Chain A
Amino acid sequence: SLLRQVSSLLRRLPAMESEKFQDDFLMEFNDTLLMTYLAM
């Protein structure tokens, strides 16, 4: 049962893999870097 649990855990990776997620993630990434730049 342990091995089954481990295998189902691994099967859940990667946690998120959608195009929309990538867009949102990079958008947030750039916003924060822009803010850092402005602060500088």
Chain B
Amino acid sequence: SDSIYFYDEAAQAKFQHDKPWQQDPNFFRRVKISALALLKMVVHARSGGTIEIMGLMQGKTDGDTIIVMDAFALPVEGTETRVNAQADAYEYMVDYSQTNKRVGRLENVVGWYHSHPGYGCWLSGIDVSTQMLNQKFQEPFLAVVIDPTRTVTAGKVEIGAFRTYPEGYKPADEPVSEYQTIPLNKIEDFGVHCKQYYALDITYFKSSLDSHLLDLLWNKYWVNTLSSSPLLGNRDYVAGQIFDLADKLEQAENQLAHARLGSFFMPSQRKKEEESQLAKITRDSSKITVEQVHGLMSQVIKDILFNSVHQ
């Protein structure tokens, strides 16, 4: 089961030489991420709070699958909306990769990861251009986005893996991606670029040692589950979500009002658009509410479990 951890240098060199991805822009379809790399990326993303963080991933390829073995943070300063690897990050990347080779870690850098705190896993305009550049000169290269804030709310890791299409390429069919709420102030950035990249399927793997260590930590897991309060931890995020929802409702209402004044017979296309927009808002609203009710249920269960027993 640990054979995935073996690095076949010859096979990787041959793959690099053949460059199969050049014939098919959708060549890579799957990503396998090791438990270690996932933990390191999530912990790093959460350490950034509301500030975006950035790092690199090391690994290899196996057919149409990119395998991420490890990840490491980059010394870059993020802001709410921008993460640009400064010059010192490039120097750091080169040093880190060379030092790895010297100590026998043969995996190359196979991608970069960064965080979108609270606004979902997708590629913004800047992300698309960064990824295109990397895919031009550093193939095979993957872009991973993590949302640490939604990870806490949803109780599972919010993560997406993407690859961009070559400049000017029109994908045959609309890339199907799981629905996610995009904040109003980012919808434009999302909408403009969402056809320039596609999402890969993500699976995880762990070594026998990882399994042993995670078993040892088992009691930490159930203790954390019982003693955490999603309602408490994410108040700011939920308030931001409701604020965003109100904005979207207002925008939809204005458009509706506008349309009513304009013409009596709304073209069916237009009607469909309004509905889909309202449908999305309703969906967002029920998603937020369900998460809140889940949080409340856990509080009530904890109250019954730990506060109702009296001496």
Contact = CB atoms under 8 A, between A and B. Distances in A.
Chains A and B touch each other in the complex, with CB atoms below 8 Å apart: yes
Interface of A: 10-11, 13-17, 25, 28-29, 32-33, 35-36, 39
What 10 pairs across the A-B complex have the smallest Cβ distances?
A15-B306, A39-B289, A14-B307, A13-B309, A32-B296, A39-B285, A32-B292, A36-B289, A35-B292, A14-B309
Interface residues of B, number: 20
Given A28-B299, A36-B293, 8 more contacts: A13-B311, A14-B309, A14-B310, A17-B307, A29-B299, A32-B231, A39-B285, A39-B286
B303 interface: yes
B252 to A, nearest CB: 16
Interface of B: 231-232, 242, 285-286, 288-289, 292-293, 295-296, 299-300, 303, 306-311
27 contacts: A10-B309, A11-B311, A13-B307, A13-B309, A13-B310, A13-B311, A14-B306, A14-B308, A15-B306, A15-B307, A16-B306, A16-B307, A25-B303, A28-B231, A28-B232, A28-B296, A28-B299, A29-B296, A32-B292, A32-B296, A33-B296, A35-B288, A35-B289, A36-B293, A39-B285, A39-B288, A39-B289
Contacts of B288: 35, 39
A34 to B, nearest CB: 10
Q: Chain B: interface secondary structure?
A: helix
Contacts of A36: 289, 292-293
Nearest to B292: A32
A17 B295 CA distance: 21
Contacts of B232: 28
A5 to B, nearest CB: 16
A28 to B, nearest CB: 6
Contacts of B299: 25, 28-29
A32 B293 contact: yes
A28 B288 CA distance: 15
A17 B308 CA distance: 10
A33 B299 CA distance: 13
B206 to A, nearest CB: 33
A13 B292 contact: no
A25 B303 CA distance: 9
Nearest to B307: A14
B88 to A, nearest CB: 45
